[in-house]
Structure 1
Amino acid sequence: MADIVKQILAKPIQLADQVTKAVDEASSFKQECAELKSKTEKLVGLLRQAAHASFDLYERPTRRIIDDTEQVLDKALSLVLKCRANGLMKRVFTIIPAAAFRKMSSQLENSIGDVSWLLRVSASGDDRDDGSLDNRSDAAASLVSLARDNDRYGKLIIEEGGVGPLLKLLKEGKIEGQENAAKAIGLLGKDPESVEHMIHAGVCTVFAKILKEGPMKVQSVMAWAVSELAANYPKCQDLFAQHNIIRLLVSHLAFETIQEHSKYAIASNKAASIHTVVNWLWRIVIMRL
């Protein structure tokens, strides 16, 4: 595994070195090239860190992220090489729009974020060898942090199969682990495609089980997660109703079995409570009557 990852990393590291060398030889757009060099040096530092940690990296996301990074560095090299043109006529006919540098700078920044994400996920993924509930809870907490930081990370978590283990932790974990898993699911459901993926993974069944017999603290987080998914993908409201999720939430409100959390802040410092969530869902029910 370590040898495979090192092979994957060899080409982008080589390209990054070529970019920094080409920048030193640039005769035009020196300021723009200097910015690209700075980001490329940061990126290659992370790539070398990944090469040293290759035994701990997950092969599948590593391949995807490094392939994308390699393409970005290849484009960066092509752009910087245009700035080495010698002679007046070459400089005149080598017109590079400012937008090209801004776009490349943004792509390098994204690659830096992606490789950083890969290193962080691999570092927090030690529970693949020790699948204790505590380790799984810590891993879920790390995913919460990553999903909150950047939408790109959330997409990667979903695409690399992170939903299934979170649902398993919701069903089998300790209270803290269940809370972390519920927070992660709520944060990951930021768009219809992501919510649909969760639905196909069985999120409705798990939600209903937790709301029916789970701990009150977990049910409170779950209520928030339900509101996030429903708000970001209104079509899932029907599925929530079919799985009795809305009825269970309203029942909790009626019998006051879930405690009020007046400042239950999870994402974007938004305050939510079970009463707010259920009232919102109850309006949906009324509208359908």
Structure 2
Amino acid sequence: KEITAVAEKDAELRRSAFKPNSPACKAIVDQVLKIIEKEDTKLPIPCIKAIGNLARTFGATDTRIIGPLVRLLDEGRPEVSREAAISLTKFVSTENYLRFDHSKAIISAGGAKHLVQLVYFGEQTVKISALVLLSYIALYVPDSEELARAGVLGVLEWASKQPNVTQDENIEALLQESKGWLELYQSRGSIQEDSKKNINRNS
């Protein structure tokens, strides 16, 4: 975990020591994923953090990384769900140039419904981590039908009224921006749907 933490901040180290296509890197990632997916292990959190630290080394096609982390959102242990959300956030934060692809991958893996549940019903520390991740995903993929079906806009509206959220200016700003994009795309979708209905009535 320590070397991955250094690599997260050192682009040169990431490029030299953690080339995604190198056999050594693949072997390490495979081993870490096995540990993450193994039940009753005592090592998931360090491994989850390690994957998150290397988020910027993975390509858009490395979807095998996203799925296990998304499943951990629904793992049951708050500390594990929180670390999974934090690591996934590193895949979709503004520092990651593949954030759009990773956001779509998280949605495809069923992440939206898990995050909605965590924001509503998770412990406080989990709520915030899940909300930040959900906000980033909504920001980058606001036209997602899955987000609309999961009621993400309603979640963000609810969260924006919670005092513990509005106290953090950065989270509040991210939340409002994401909410704005969702409102724009979902209202546009409603207008298009109404237009189709009118056309069908008149035809």
| Bin for the TM-score computed over the shorter chain | 0.5 to 0.7
The residue aligned with 2:5 is none
Q: Percent identity?
A: 15
Distance change in 2, residues 1:165/1:173 (3 Å): farther
Distance change in 2, residues 1:175/1:260 (3 Å): farther
| 1:246 correspondence with 2:149 | no
Distance change in 2, residues 1:260/1:131 (3 Å): farther
- Paired residues for 1:106-125 under 5 Å: 113-114=19-20, 115=22, 116-122=24-30, 124-125=32-33
The residue aligned with 1:229 is 137
Distance change in 2, residues 1:251/1:112 (3 Å): closer
The residue aligned with 2:180 is 283
The residue aligned with 2:7 is none
Distance change in 2, residues 1:210/1:228 (3 Å): same
Task: Work out which of the residue numbers 176, 183, 196 in structure 1 matches 2:79.
Answer: 176
Distance change in 2, residues 1:172/1:259 (3 Å): farther
The residue aligned with 1:15 is none
Which whole-Å deviations, capped at 9, do the CAs of 1:44-101 have from their partners, x for residues lacking one?
xxxxxxxxxxxxxxxxxxxxxxxxxxxxxxxxxxxxxxxxxxxxxxxxxxxxxxxxxx
Per-residue deviation at 1:179? 1.8
Question: Do the aligned partners of 1:183 and 1:221 also contact (CA within 8 Å) in 2?
Answer: yes
Question: Do the aligned partners of 2:139 and 2:178 also contact (CA within 8 Å) in 1?
Answer: no
The residue aligned with 1:202 is 110
| 1:219 correspondence with 2:116 | no
- Paired residues for 1:70-219 under 5 Å: 113-114=19-20, 115=22, 116-122=24-30, 124-125=32-33, 127=35, 130-132=38-40, 134-148=42-56, 150=57, 153-155=58-60, 157-158=62-63, 161-189=64-92, 190-219=98-127
Question: Do the aligned partners of 1:140 and 1:184 also contact (CA within 8 Å) in 2?
Answer: yes
Per-residue deviation at 1:112? 6.5
Question: Do the aligned partners of 1:167 and 1:181 also contact (CA within 8 Å) in 2?
Answer: yes
Inter-partner Cα distance in structure 2 for 1:165 and 1:129: 7
Inter-partner Cα distance in structure 1 for 2:43 and 2:146: 32
Which whole-Å deviations, capped at 9, do the CAs of 1:232-287 have from their partners, x for residues lacking one?
33422x5323311221222122142547445xxxxxxxxx31x2222113323554
Please, what TM-score do these two structures have when normalized by structure 1? 0.48
Paired residue secondary structure (1:235):
coil
Paired residue secondary structure (2:161):
helix
Inter-partner Cα distance in structure 1 for 2:182 and 2:166: 23
**Structure 1: 5+ residue runs without aligned partners?**
1-108, 263-271
Inter-partner Cα distance in structure 2 for 1:198 and 1:282: 19
Inter-partner Cα distance in structure 1 for 2:120 and 2:132: 16
- The structure with the larger Rg is 1
Per-residue deviation at 1:133? 5.6
Question: Do the aligned partners of 1:117 and 1:146 also contact (CA within 8 Å) in 2?
Answer: no
Higher relative contact order (CA 8 A, sep 6+): 2
4+ runs deviating over 4 angstroms: 109-112
